[in-house]
Structures are given as C-alpha cells and as structure tokens.
Structure 1
Amino acid sequence: MTKVAKPDNPFADKVLLAPLYRLIEERHNKSQVASLIPFAKKLFASSSQTELASLSVEKVYGRVLRAWEFVQHRASRSPKVAFYSNDDACEEILEQGTTILILVNNMPFLVDSVSQELTGKGIGINAIFNAVIHCERNAFRKGARESRGKLIRLSPTETSSNFAEALIIVHTSWLSEAQCAELRKSILDVLKCVAIAVSDYPAMCARVLNVRQQLLIAEMPVSDDERQESCEFIEWLVDNNFTFLGYERFNITGAGKSKEVNLDTESILGISRLKTTLRKSVSIKDEPGGAGELILRPQICDFAKSSARSKVHRPGHYDYVLIKELDSRGNVKVEHRILGLYTSSVYFQSVSEIPLVRKKVRHVLDRSGFSPNGHSIKGLFQVINVLPRDELFQINSDQLFHTAMRITQIQERRHVRLFVRKDSYGKFFSCLIFIPRDNYNTRVREQIQEFLMTELRGVELDFSTYYSESILARLHIIIHSPQIGKVKFDRHDLETRLVTLVKPWDDELSEVLQAKYPGQKAHQLLNEFGKCFPISYREEYPAAEGVADIPTLQLALATGNLSLDFSIDESGQPAFKVFRPGRQLVLSEVVPVLENFGLRVSRERNFCFNKDAQSIVWLHDYSCQLAGNRGLDEAKVKQRFEQAFEAVWCGNTENDRFNALVLISTLAWREVSLLRAYSAYMKQIQASYSQLFVAETLINHAEIAELLVEYFFARFNPVDRNRHAKEIAGIESRIIHAIEGVTNLAEDTVLRLFFKLILATRRTNYFQKDQLDNSKAYISFKFMPQDIEEIPRPRPKFEIFVYAPQMEGVHLRGGSVARGGLRWSDRKEDFRTEVLGLVKAQQVKNSVIVPVGAKGGFVVKEPTDGLTRDEFLSKGQACYRMFISGLLDLTDNIIAGGTSHPDQTVLWDDDDPYLVVAADKGTATFSDIANEVAAEYG
C-alpha cells in the first residue's frame, strides 16, 4: 500500500476517504496511485465532514478523476477555466448542475473573489473545494506544443523546480452555454484583478511608506499633532490593517477656480492599471459631487467611498484613503489616492488604537464636559467604540460629537432614532437607525430600506445590523445616491415617519382594530386574538393584514372546518389563504387542486395560530400565478373561487381541469359540474375525445362554455319556464355562430356535441332541491337518444344518466313501458356499453314475452382498495341509493288518478310515470333500498 503524508483531517481520511483510497488502489497501477491519493487528500483536506459524508465513493472518485485530468496540462501561466455539465452518472452529488474548474498561480483572495463573483451574478453554489498543489511541469515555451506545460509530477512542498498552483472546483446550479461563456469572461476578469493587486501589493506599500517619509520632512502649515497622527496612520495601514488594491498620484496645478487635477500616469499601481479610460486632466470644478472640495481641503488625510464594488476579496464598495501633500501656503499640490479595503481586524480594534480616529474620539470626550472618570464618559466612549468603522473614518469631529451625544441621550429608552450623514465625496448617504430590538425583524428592515431608498433617491445599498446587551438594535444603511446633490430632506421628518413605520406590531394591531371596530369590539378581539399571532407571521405581514385575517380565523375556529380567503395581491397575482383547525395541510394535498384551477403555486408560507391548547389553527398562505397571465377581478372571482375550492375539498365536485373555468369564466362550481356531467356522458356514448381534451376545449373557449350553460338554464330553469321560444332560439343562434369561429376541428366537434346533448335533454333534476333546500349532490339528465346521432345503435327510446363525484349510472328503456334489472358494474370506463349489451341480449331472449326491455347500471367511482367487505358494501349501497334517486327525480307519479310531475322541473316530453326496476348482478340484496327510496318519493 502506498504511503502518504499525515492527513490534515484524520477523521475524514480514516472514515470518509478510506473507501476512496481503496478504490484508487483497485483501479490504478502503483505509479498512478502514488499521485492520485496525495492529490485526493489535498483536494478534500478542507472539506467538512458533513459534505464528505453526503458523497458516495463512486462520485468522489469521479470528481478526483475529473480534477486530475484537468491539471495534467496547462498551456501557459495564465489561468485555466473549464465548465462541465453534470449529467453523467459518476458526477454531482447534490443535484444536477455545472462544475467549474479553475487552475491558477496560487495567491491570496482567489476563493473569496471567485465565490463573490458567482454569488453576485445570482448563481447558487452547491459546493466548493480548493487545494494548493505544487506542480513540476514541462516548460511552457519549449518542446512540442502538446507537451508544453504538461504535468511531470506533484511535490509535497514548493521547491525550485516547481511552483504552487491553486485548484478551485465549484459545483453550481445548472448553467447554459451562454451563461458559461459569459461567466468565463467575468472569472478571468476577477482573476486578473486579483493577480495585479497581489503582484503590485509590495510596490503600493513601499509607495505609501515613501509618502510617509516625505510628510515627515515636508514644510507644511499643519500642526505637529496632525502630521504625527497622519504618519502613524500610514504605518497603521501598512501594518496589515488595509488591503491595498490600487494606487494613483495626482498633481494639483493652477490657481483658484482654474485648478486642475492631473493624473501621473507613471504612478498607477494595482487594479487602477485596469481602468479602460484614464482622465489625465480634469478641472477641479468638473469633479463630481463634493470631490473637488474634498481634494482641496487642506488636511493631510481624507476618506471616501468609491461607487464601484470590489472584485477582490469582499464585494463591498472600495474604500479611498486620500493622502495629500501641501505647499507652504497650505494649498494641496499632490494627492495620493489609495484604493482598497480595511481588513477584518479593523472592525474589532478599539477606537483608541486607530490613529486619526482616536484623535476625533479624544475631541468628543473632551468636548462632552463629562467627568474624566465618571460613568457618563465611559458610556460615551462605548457608544463611539461600537460605531461602524467606515463611519468613524469619514465623519468629522463635529459630526461625531453631535451624533455620539444624541445616541448617548437615548439612554436605553425605547425610542426610534435616525442619523443621516452625506459623505464628503458626494456619492453616499450613511444612515444609522436605532430601533427597540424586539421590534426589529427582517420585514421591518426591508420597510426601512425601501423607505430610505425612496426618500434619498438611492440606487443600491449595503446594510449591517448590530446587537448588544442594549434594548436597542442598530441598523447601518449605506445608500448610493447618484443624484445626491438634488436630494432635499428633513431629518426630523424622516425620523417621525420611521417611528410610524417601525411601530411595534401589537401597538399597530390595536390601532387598526380600534379604527375598524367601534366600542368594545376592538378590545374584545384584541384580548381574544392579540397574542395568538406567531412571531413568524408578525415578521411577514403588517398588523393590518392580521386584522383582515381575524374573521377568517374566527370562522375556522367556530366551524372546525377550512376557512378560505382568496385575493389579488399588489402585483395582480392571485393569493390564497387556507385556515385549517387542528392539523397542518400537506402541500401535495393542495397543489394539485390549485393547479386544476389553473393556478401555479410559486410560494407557500405556514403559520400556527395557538389561541389556546384546544384551539390551534394552521394558516397556509399560497402565492400563485394564473396560467396565461390573465388578469382577475377580485370582486368577481373571490366568492366563486372560495366556494369552488371548498366544494372540491369536501368532495362535492371533482378535482380535475374543468375547474379552471371557475377563474377564467363567470361559471360557478356547480355550473362547471353541469358541463362535467355532460362530458362524462360523452365518454359513455364512446365519443372519441378524452375528458382532459374536453376540459381543455372548454377552457380554450370559455365564452362558449358560458353560452352552453346559459342555453341550459334558458331551457330548464323553472324560474324562466315562460321564457319565449324566440329568446331561446337567439341563444342557439349565438352558440352556433361562436362555434363556427372555432378553427380546430376536434374542438369544434366537442362543442357541437355539448350543444346537441343539451338540445336532446328532455328533463333534468339540476334545479331540484333536497329536504334542506340545498341543490342535490348529483345531476340527472333524461335524453331522447333518437335525437343524438353520435349514440351507438341500437338506440333506446329513453335514457337517464345520473352523475355525481362518487358515482355514475345509466338507465336505458326500449319503450314507455319496460322493465329490467340494475347492476353494480365494475367497468368505470364503459359501463353504458355493458348495459347496452344486456339490452341487446334481452331483446333477443325475451322478445315474445317483453317486446321492449330496460336495463341499468351504475359504477362506484371512488377507490375501494383496502376497504373491508362491510365498508365496500356500504359504499355500493350509498351509490345505489343515489342512482335510484336520480332516476325517480325525473319520473312522474300517478296520484289519485292524475299525473304529478317532479317539482322544479321543466318538461320537454310527455308524461312518463313508468319506472320498474329489478335486481341484477351486484344488487340482489338491494331491493329493500329501492323500495325505501321509492316510498320517499310517494
């Protein structure tokens, strides 16, 4: 077995990577093993145990081989970047995506800079690995082209014959070819910035230290204290407190308003060398914002922020340090402009240790008038010590004094305070906001950011939040405002409006309740529901929304059932809230229902309202998008959709694509069920099209669907039984005209069949009510089959079709007087064909005894798998009872020698009081049920 160096991560080496080493030894010769195992150890040395544990050994092996192959050749010392799609079986452990491999000369900031570039472009990083490898290679410019830069061997350490290379492997979300091409350019650009900043770093440090030496001996009208502090500050910068990224020297020439800022092009170092355009000479009056005033200010050191973001190390805006040389009259003659970032250690240093800053601090403490050893001065110092370091560099002594004193005066009171400072360079507003910490959350922060961005005309911002043992949280927002010179604001007015914006949620809830409900009602609701809103809800929604949700929450608690709230949000997209008592909904229960309504769920948020131990309600808030980007009028669709969803959830209507008509047409759920029932009958008469195609046809021609329902109502609604025949004919004409405009032949056929079926309908129970005055749970149609040419022969004289979400049934009669059995069929797809076959057989067998016969059958549509025999039988009996009821609903009754017609039914045929049924397959024991139902009908 090959010996390898002591591992950096012993647990990973022994437990997680040991299988990989065995696999390498099994599949490779000794020479390859001697290279691959040390390579793998370096590659995964910095990986977390969790990350490694999630990898299968085969996939780890695949990664190692790909990386090993990648480092074999390097055409030059320039960075090498490659992209691979993770579609093959040996790749990607977390999810399908893209792998980026980068090989570059080792230097600082590489991984950070690449990571921030990807993140800044919105590319998700699933995993990232990096290793420093010491490569001995063939010469890059000698020998055959194919052998140039070829890897000879890896060394454990750097020697004179090899050099250190950084290998970076990034696994990202899937990237298109165009994205990869664009990203390659931006990664190479970042690597170029890193390389030039790192290579020029020593020269920049030397240049700055040389400036310090010049300052020590130059004759300038500044105090010894300022000179000493400035020189010590420069030393402090070089002492690992500032990452130097760029440097430029400017000579200030001329006099008065004609002064010019002239770039010394020979002085440029670091990333400043990468500027595509160089303004060699600019009039001081043409400098943007307050830059001209800042440049000419007669003090040695000044500070500013660049509007450009760093591509190296951290993604923040670059920091400028301006070091100025003055002539004997105090005029600025040279400006040294240093570009970079303060190192992380600066943000934890005491302000008493930072030159120039400590001078400002001493000024504030002395000016405060507090006792040198008293509690107040210690508090003031602590206030300054925890201020953002960027703020302390740029703020002047007077500004710092007033800001620090006002912060101190808050004295742990639950106040909201705002401090706004415009930077000297004229590009940024720096905002410090103090808020009671128990009022602060992400929603509040986002509201503050949006408010200040609007008021201060910002285009982008950075923020940071500071918590301590104080009752106040501090939010620091830096806003880039290109129009800063045009921004006028009143700080006190902004602060007053912020107070309203960040008002405690409970206080806001109380105010909104009192505004909406008079008298004691508001206090009653506040006492009852004020404490049941979870923290996550308060962070997500304003109190006004909580008040709007209380009635829906009350309804859910009172009924123990779902309570619904459909609305259209500010962006015009549907939003749907479902309140469910007791138990949380499963997303897979709801999403298919919403999708059939034409809604795609883009986001779900869950909240648990705990009124007390026995009163728990779950709120599920679904943000949706409507297919086809149709606009919706909330006032028109809200109630219709909520009723439809409840009907689906309770099993009163089916969950299928027909439901999309609820949102895109004026049809209510039961009117959609009417069309669904006709579609179900189409299926039984062997129409050529699937139920899905029929539904999509109606969705594509929703206006015709509305006309078909209007036509059905005109013919059968007992309220409109006296509707003039001419008016009905007018609707028929509109339907025919609309269908003639349909270009798809299959859709044309479906829509015409709907029209024919309605025309061939003689009776329906659609408008009948049950004993509780509710619409019946099933729909029955009586057809005259001779009028429907699409019905297969032989065609019975009368036919009744009964539809419900739980069952379907059909009864065929050869004549006015005919009898026959009803069977419980198991042929859900074509039970009418089965019944028609029985009718044919009956005609042949009993033609002498009964010239014309009758047969019927029904199916149970709901799943019966897993039911006990009793449960199975009970379900069948319930569907049989519904079937018999559906037949009797359309049958006349002879009472006292006269014919009584069904209530709430419009007849388009003659009297029909004859309905005699018998038992058949599956219904032998159901005779008593049929008699019971018949007795109910008198």
Structure 2
Amino acid sequence: MTGTRWQHSAELVTEIMSLVAERSTLERQTALESFVFEYFSNVEIEDIEHAEVADWYGAVLSHWNFARQRAPGETRIRAYNPHTQTHGWQSTHSVLEIVCDDRPFLLDSVRMALERQGLTVHLIIHPVMGVGRNDQGMIETVERLTHRARGGSGDAESASPRAGLPAEAIMHLELDRQPEQTLAEVGQIVRAALDDVVAVVDDWPSMVRNIDAVMAALKSGPPPIPATELEEGVEFLSWLRNDHFTFLGYREYRLVDASESDATGALQPVAGSGLGLLRELDGHPPRVLTSLTPEALRIAREPELLIITKSNHRSTVHRPSYLDYIGVKRFDADGKVIGEYRFMGLFTSAAYNRSPMNIPLLANKLRRVLTRSSFAPRGHAEKALLNILETFPRDQLFQLPEEELYETALGILHLEERRRPRVFIHRERFGRFYSALVFVPRERFNTVTRQLIQETLETTLGASGSEFTVSLGESVLARLHFILHVEGEPPLPIDQPALEARLRDLTRSWNDELTANILDYFGEARGVGLVRRYGEAFRADYREDYTPRVAVHDIEHMEALDRSADGLSLAVYRPLEAPPDQLRMKLFHPGSPVSLSDALPMLENMGLRVEDENPAKIKRGDGPRIWMHDFGMRSADGSEVDLEAVRTLFHEAFSQIWVGNVENDGFNRLVIGVGLGWRQVVVLRAYYRYLRQIRLPFSQAYVERALANNAAIVRDLVALFETRFDPTLGDERETRATALVERIGAALDGVASLDEDRILQSYLALIRATTRTNYYQRQSNGRDAEGVPKSYLSFKFDPALVPDMPRPRPMYEIFVYSPRVEGVHLRGGPVARGGLRWSDRAEDFRTEVLGLVKAQMVKNAVIVPVGSKGGF
C-alpha cells in the first residue's frame, strides 16, 4: 500500500474512531476501539470508499454487537439486508456476518459455499483478533495477534495469540442483494460449510495418527503382497503425510460377501471410524458416501495395496475440487482383501509442483515406461518422452495403469509437433468419469473452440458435466484436459477415428477450410499455386461474413480479372434466405475501391434499389490489392427477378456500361425487367434517339417507362428486328416476320394507355421501315477470332414507311448511333449532291440538316434536281 492510500484509509478509520469515542460508553470504549482498528487494518481504501463514514460506523458497530457475546466454540452467522431504520446503517448489498474460532480454510470454504449458490461476493473484510471474554462470553479485551493461523494453507496449526487470547475470525461479506427468505437459506448453507471445516480441522490430528498407524501396521505385519509393492506403498503414504496431502476425511471399511449383505458383496463402514467429512454426526450417515458397482466391487477384491483415484463428490472445504481418494486395503493372513482404510482429501500444491520422478509410486512407474520404450538412454527420444511424462496431468499419472500410460505417452510423442488434433480418452477404473487429453494447434485454440470440443466430448461420452484445464507451453500444440462425469451405464465403444475427425472439423481454421476447398475445387495442379496466392489474402472482416466455400468462387472471379478487358469482374447471386425480389452483386476491382457515385446510378438505372454495401479489401500474395464490393439490392418496383434467366445478361450489360460502350440511362432496366441483352437494349435506345429527331413528343424517361410496362410487346419488337436482319435466316424469314407483326398488332389492342400505344406503334413502324443495318457486323479486337460487335449502330430507312416524319421526306435516310456520336444522312434521290457538317443542336440536328437539304435542292436545281446532306 502506498503512502497516499494508507493515509486516506487511516483518515477514514480515524473518522470512524471519532464516532466511536463520541457515542460509546466508557466501560467498553477501549475494546471497541481495538475492534474497529483491527476490523479495518488490512482493508484497501478502494474497497470501502464507496460508502459513507456513517454507514461504515454502523456496519462495524453492528458486527461488534453481533460478536459481543459468544459461547466457547460457537459459530455465529447472520445474513441480512441493512436498512437505516432497522439496523442504523444501509448498504446496496446483502451482508453476511460471521464470528467463530479461527481455523484454517474458513474463508475459502465460505466463498465456495456462496459460489455454489451463484452469489457474487463484492467485499470481504476478514480480520482475525485475539479476543478475551468473561464467563458469560462477553468481550472484555481485543488485541492484535503475534501471528495468525495459516488458514487455507493446507495445515491445521493453531493460532498463537499474545497473552493466550483465543483467536477469533470476524468475517463481513457483501453479496448480491437477496430477499429475506433466500438469506435464511444462505445462512444455513454457510453454517453447513463451516461445520465441515470444524470437523476437518478438529479431526486432522486423528487422521494423521491413523495414517501413521496404517504405515506402522504394514511394516510390523506385512500383508502377503510383493515386497516392492509394499515398500512403494509405505513410502507413498509417508510422502502424503509429509505435507503433500490435505486430509479432509477418513473412514475404515469392512469387505463383506453375499452372505452378509443383500447384494453380491459390499464395503461396509466400520461404526465410529469416520473422521472429518466422513464423520458420523448424531447417528446420521457420513456426509460423503460411495456406492459400489459390480466393477467397483471387483476392484475392491483385487490384491493390490493402494487405490488412488478421484471421488465423485466435490470438496466443501479448502478447494472446490473433486476429492482425491486414497484407499489402503486390509488383508487377512491368506492374502484375501477384507477391508479398506480410506483417506479423502486433496493433493497439495507441493504435490503438483514436484517432479513425478521424486514422488513414490510415480518414479518407478515412469522408469518402467521409459525402459519399455527401448529408447537410447539420455537420447533425444527418451528426453522427449520423459518431458511428456513429467508434464502429464498429475492425477492421471496416479490413476492410469502403466499400460495405458505407456500407450498414451507414446501417442503424444508420435504427434511430433504436428499441427493436427488428437484425443486420448481413458475411463476411470470405477466408471464414474472419463479423462480426455485433447491436443489442438495452438493458434486455433480459443474459448469458442474449447466449448465446442467440450460439448462434443460430453455428447459422445454421455457425460452429465465436465471440467477442463488448459496447458499452453512452448509447443505448437495446446493441451486440453477434460474430466467428464458419467452416470448410469457406460456408452457404446468410442469411435476414435470418427471423434478425431469431428475434432479436426471443430479446430480447423477458416484458412484451413479455404485451402481444402481450393484444392478440391481447382484440383491440386492449379490449387497449390492459388493457395500460395490467396491462403492469407482474406482479412478478418471478410472471414466473418463469408465461408471458405464462398471465397473459392470469389477467387475464381478475382483470377478472371487478369483476363478481363474492362478491369472488372462480377458475380450476381441470391442468398438462400432472400425473397425473389432481392439479389446481391459482388463487384471485384483491382488496385482501388470503386466509387459509389459511379456504381450506384448504374444499378439504379437497371431497375434496382441499392439497400446496402459490404466492402472488403483482399491482398493477394502477389499483384495489387483487390477490392470487393458486395451490394444488396431489390427490384425498384418490387417485382420478382428471375436470376437464372438474367444473370448472364446482367453481367454483360453492367460490364459494357462500366467501360462506356453502353449509355447509363433508364433503358438499361429492360435487361432485368424484360430480359433483353445489352445490344438489344442498344437497338431500342438507338430507335428512340431517331424518333426524338423526327419529333416524337415524349421524353426519354416516359418512353423508357412505356417499354418497361409492356415487356411482352418489347420482346416481340426485338424479335421482329432480329428476324428481319439475321443473316442466318433463309426462306422462313418472311413467315416469321409476318407472324410477329400480327402478334404485336394483337397485343397493341390491349394497351390501355394511348401514349404507350403511340410509342410502341412508332417502334413497330421504324423497325418495318428499316431496310438495312450493321447490327450483325463484327470487327476485330485482336483477341477473339470472331471479333466483337461494332461500337456503333446504323440503320437505313425507307422514309415513305415512317409515319409522322417531317416533310419533305427524303428517298433514303441513314441514322448512326453510338454513345459517343449520333448522325443522319438524308438523300433526296438516287443521284443527289451534298455534304456533311457538325451541328451543335444535339436535340434536333436532323431538323437543321433537313433545312440544308431543302436549300441544296433550290441552289442546285439546275445541276442536280435533288440534294443530300449529312450531319452529326
């Protein structure tokens, strides 16, 4: 404690002492002041500064009044909710007050009892004082002890207070606020725990004398067992006696056969022999009991000196561990087992920290395992095996038969630091629990993985519960040790390979799954290179949102970027849970993220409403970073999207829009809404641009909407265009075209809107007036043998077939369209004279050109009777 903190604490205690001086009577003031001083002597200021001085005065005075009178050996316990009107002070917590003789294990045992009830302890004040009382049990003197009992340290030494004052433990614990009924139960539970402490500590000397007596009896009247086994057994018991075992219970048992019991045989307690936790109280059975199964009875009859295992009961004293069970068998003159001396307790920390090569029983057991391995003495393999044995769970070293220990240790050695899961399972000899040693790659170990492994083992083994410990040394493997408790009949034989396969699945990292999926999907020849390239490419945000199987398909798209002419790769998909009007699109772009200001208008013009976007940056082993944008979209009008029908159309259209080969406008909604390809949409867009030049009185947005509203007619219009000009068609061309015109005419009769009817009629007329087009012509791109469609579209019209065309009508007219330029050429006759010009009138350049044609006809009437003119 620093000086500043101590001064603060001292100041707080001084204020409390001032209140004591003001309000207490003279005859008890000295003892009360000593009580208050000792009460707060070892309390950190952070623990008590949350409350007012008046409340701490009330708390300590309340405890003083509760402790003031006590009979010798009495344990006083009170649990209550402090309230100012009732108790003179208040707290937000429930308070547990205890006054008793000081003993080891008190505080640990009280905390364990509270934790078993799920209660959180917020504050502990636990002074131990030398207290002098008169014949009525009233406090007369309170003094500091010269030194305290080593409570909880594993021994039972008594306190040695100055001037012979008995040591009393004063405990103040603040708990989660509880109702009064619950507090009464808490008091009973804590009293039971303290009764156990009293039984253990008071009987400690007797238990030690009993183990001494057992050793003496083994030496003076050795049973008919091998001398080495007897010698090792006595040496082990002596080692336990030497501060390596905390004795918590003892009882002697007599092995009776079928003639003396209702069963096939049983271990019968010897009346009056119980000590500690196995003590009989008021004629009741011992607190810890063991039921014998046929297997346990068989083990009890085996002519071996010692049984070392775990009880299926937790200790209520000192540590909340399952009790260690040391059984020393009794033999008759013929070497038949006739009973057992049973010691219950806990191995001390010294027993766990010492090398097993220095522990009786274990040392020879380990030497036999090393000898059996046949490894070269002091060679690498023997040293590695010895390290495995020395770091093996200590309880398992005691419990495992030598054969199982040998096989398990060798199995661990053969792991050879391999990054793969292994499990070694052993059933406790009485069938009450399983021990499972699980090794997993260290980098894959975390709490979630441990929980999954634990659940899997519990399910596989039919366990009712389990505990675990984790060992993380310098190895690349983490070791998990599970103790799994089973009830009833043992489960079916364990399928070890299947269990380990399940654990491999549980401990596989995301990157491991990715590697496996890459090799499975692409094959080993190509997959190995892709693993090097993408094995560590995906960051945590991507791994959290997408599975390795999905990542494989994303890799396929990213690989396509290297072959992409537009520097873009797309994947349109629909999650399984999504409704039919929703879809998602992944857009992959190298080097830098895509500007949302560029991408969103394109998607919206395709008839979609973008609802979310999930970006991810992917760093390949070589090459530039790749940005993936995952857009969540819904059809703008709420209609269903037939993804399988439009996926390829969507991919091609978006790519063409991205590179500028297709204009980004509302005509693109026809890709999804009508099911047209991007070039078919270009045809409709080009016809509209010409209709605008010949003064169709409808805006582009209105025309786009009219086309979208009449999907079936639009598909037939496109089919009519392709039927008329597809060079692969022969004699059936006219028949098909006539049928389409008739079908379109019939469908137009059902169009309710006059405007939409006029728009569709205009498209039909233009298509029928078209005499030639370059739609099917292709040009070389240096990569594809067949070339690619030309970047512009041209139509040759017969103006006589175009209704509502401004006069004068030329004999022939050509219209050229591309995203970069539009142009017309009007020709008055087979022989005409004229030129070309650029116009700055984008909306009506044909009107300007038509006027020039008229002027040309007047100007050149003598030379050439008709004129021609082109403009763009």
What is the TM-score of this pair, normalised by structure 2? 0.57
Structure 2 Cα separation of the partners of residues 215 and 567 of structure 1: 74
SS in 1 for 2:130: strand
Q: Does 1:397 align with 2:402?
A: yes
Of the candidates 313, 317, 342, which is equivalent to residue 318 of structure 2?
Answer: 313
Are positions 1:152 and 2:140 aligned together?
yes
Aligned residue for 1:874? Answer: none
Asked if 2 retains the 8 angstrom alpha-carbon contact of 1:132 and 1:167, the reply is yes
Structure 2 residue 215 is the aligned partner of structure 1 residue 206: no
- Equivalent residue number for residue 187 of structure 1: 190
Check conservation: 1:289, 1:485, Cα contact below 8 A: no
C-alpha deviation, 1:207, in angstroms: 0.5
TM-superposed CA distance for 1:446, in Å, is 0.3
- Say which of 121, 126, 147 aligns to 1:125: 121
Q: Give, as a single letter, the amino acid of the residue that structure 2 aligns with 1:440.
A: F
The answer to whether the 8 A contact 1:116-1:315 is kept is yes
Among 501, 506, 530, the alignment partner of 1:501 is: 506
1:359 aligns with 2:386: no
| 2:177 is the alignment partner of 1:174 | yes
Deviations 1:913-933 (A, max 9, x none): xxxxxxxxxxxxxxxxxxxxx
Q: 1:610 to 1:247 in 2, by over 3 A?
A: farther
Q: Is the 8 A contact 1:24 1:36 kept in 2?
A: no
Structure 2 counterpart of 1:229, from 215, 218, 232: 232
1:814-825 mapped onto 2 (5 Å cutoff): none
CA separation of 1:196 and 1:456: change in aligned 2, threshold 3 A: same
Paired with 1:608 and 1:480, the residues of 2 have a C-alpha distance of 48
Are positions 1:29 and 2:34 aligned together?
no
Provide the residue aligned with 2:130 in structure 1. Answer: 134
After superposition, give the CA deviation of every residue in 1:433-491 in whole Å (9 maximum; x if it has no partner): 11111111100100011001011111111110011111111100001101353443122
Percent identity (aligned) = 28
1:293 aligns with one of 294, 298, 310:
298
Return the letter of the residue paired with 2:144: P
Larger radius of gyration: 2
Rounded to whole Å, the distance in 2 between the matches of 1:208 and 1:542 is: 63
How big is the shift at 1:332? 1.1
CA contact (8 A) 2:68 2:139 kept: yes
**Aligned partners of 2:400 and 2:314: how far apart in 1?**
21
Aligned counterparts of 2:90 and 2:469: Cα–Cα separation in 1: 31
Q: Distance in 1 between matches of 2:7 and 2:626?
A: 50
Structure 1 residues 762-814: Cα deviation after superposition (integer angstroms, max 9, x where no partner)? xxxxxxx99999xxxxxxxxxxxxxxxxxxxxxxxxxxxxxxxxxxxxxxxxx
Q: Which residue of 1 aligns with 2:94?
A: 98
**1:423 positional shift:** 0.7
CA distance in 2, matches of 1:522, 1:404: 35
SS of match in other structure, 2:490:
helix
Counterpart of 2:249 in structure 1 is 246
Judging changes above 3 Å, is the alpha-carbon distance between structure 1 residues 258 and 26 closer, same or farther for their aligned structure 2 residues?
closer
Deviates further, 202-211 or 120-129: 120-129
Deviation at 1:77, TM superposition (A): 3.1
Aligned 8 A contact 1:20 1:60 in 2: no
Amino acid at match of 2:166: F
| Deviation readout 1:354-388 (Å, 9 max, x if unpaired) | 11111211111111111222222121111011111
**C-alpha contact (below 8 Å) 2:34/2:143 kept by paired residues:** no
Q: CA deviation at 1:43?
A: 2.8
Deviation for aligned residue 1:85: 2.0
Aligned twin of 1:20: 12
- 2-side partners of 1:531 and 1:54: how far apart? 51
Given that residues 430 and 476 in structure 1 are in contact (C-alpha distance below 8 angstroms), is that contact kept between their aligned partners in structure 2? yes
Matched with 2:734 is none
Deviation, 1:33, is: 6.3
Contact 2:245 2:347 in 1 (8 A): yes
Match of 1:162 in 2: 165
Shift of 1:124: 1.3
Instruction: Report if the CA contact (8 A) 1:305-1:425 is conserved.
Output: no
Q: Equivalent residue of 1:236, what SS?
A: helix
Change (3 A) 1:200 1:364: same
Contact 2:461–2:491 (CA<8 Å) still a contact in 1? no
- Please list the CA deviations of residues 182-230 of structure 1 after superposition, one character each: whole Å capped at 9, or x if unmatched: 1111111111111101110110110011001111122423222211111
Please point out which of 372, 392, 397 is paired with 1:387.
Answer: 392
- Whether 1:43 aligns to 2:39 is yes
Aligned to 2:741: none
Question: Aligned in 2, Cα 1:347/1:54: closer, same or farther, shift over 3 Å?
Answer: farther
Deviations 1:315-352 (A, max 9, x none): 11111101112234332122111111111221111001
Which of 473, 477, 481 lines up with 1:472 in the alignment? 477
Query: Alpha carbon RMSD of aligned pairs, Å?
Result: 4.8
Q: Which residue of 2 aligns with 1:892?
A: none
Q: Distance in 2 between matches of 1:338 and 1:407?
A: 33
SS at match of 1:136: strand
Query: Where in structure 2 are there 5+ consecutive unaligned residues?
Result: 146-160, 559-567, 569-574, 579-592, 594-613, 620-624, 635-700, 706-872
Give the paired residue count: 560
Letter in 2 for 1:308: H
For 1:669-684, list aligned pairs within 5 A. none
In structure 2, the CA distance between the partners of 1:368 and 1:68, relative to structure 1 (3 Å rule), is same
Distance 1:265 1:134 in 2: 38
Counterpart mapping for 1:324-339 below 5 A: 324-339=329-344
Deviations 1:735-778 (A, max 9, x none): xxxxxxxxxxxxxxxxxxxxxxxxxxxxxxxxxx99999xxxxx
Give the superposition deviation at 1:289: 5.5
Deviation at 1:406, TM superposition (A): 1.0
After superposition, what is the alpha-carbon deviation per residue over 1:811-865, rounded to whole angstroms, capped at 9, x for unaligned?
Answer: xxxxxxxxxxxxxxxxxxxxxxxxxxxxxxxxxxxxxxxxxxxxxxxxxxxxxxx
Q: Residue type of the partner of 2:76?
A: K
Q: 1:217 aligns with which of 197, 220, 225?
A: 220
Distance 1:515 1:59 in 2: 71
1:91 to partner: Cα distance: 11
Partner of 1:420: 425
- Asked if the contact 1:16–1:53 (Cα under 8 Å) also holds between the matched residues in 2, the reply is no
Give SS of 2:508's match. coil
- 1:377-776 equivalences under 5 Å are 377-508=382-513, 534=540
Structure 1 residue corresponding to 2:275, chosen from 269, 280, 297? 269
- Which ranges of structure 1 fall in alignment gaps of 5 or more residues? 1-8, 143-148, 559-564, 569-581, 583-606, 618-637, 641-768, 774-938
CA drift of 1:240 comes to: 1.1
Which residue number in structure 1 is paired with residue 562 of structure 2? none
Distance in 2 (CA, whole Å) between partners of 1:288 and 1:527 is 60
SS in 1 for 2:455: helix
Q: TM-score, normalised by structure 1?
A: 0.53
Asked whether the equivalents of residues 244 and 351 of structure 2 are also in contact (C-alpha less than 8 Å), the reply is yes
Q: 2:103 aligns with which of 103, 107, 116?
A: 107
Cα distance change, pair 163–547 in 1 and its aligned pair in 2 (3 A): farther
CA separation of 1:289 and 1:277: change in aligned 2, threshold 3 A: farther
User: Alpha-carbon deviation of 1:395?
Assistant: 0.8
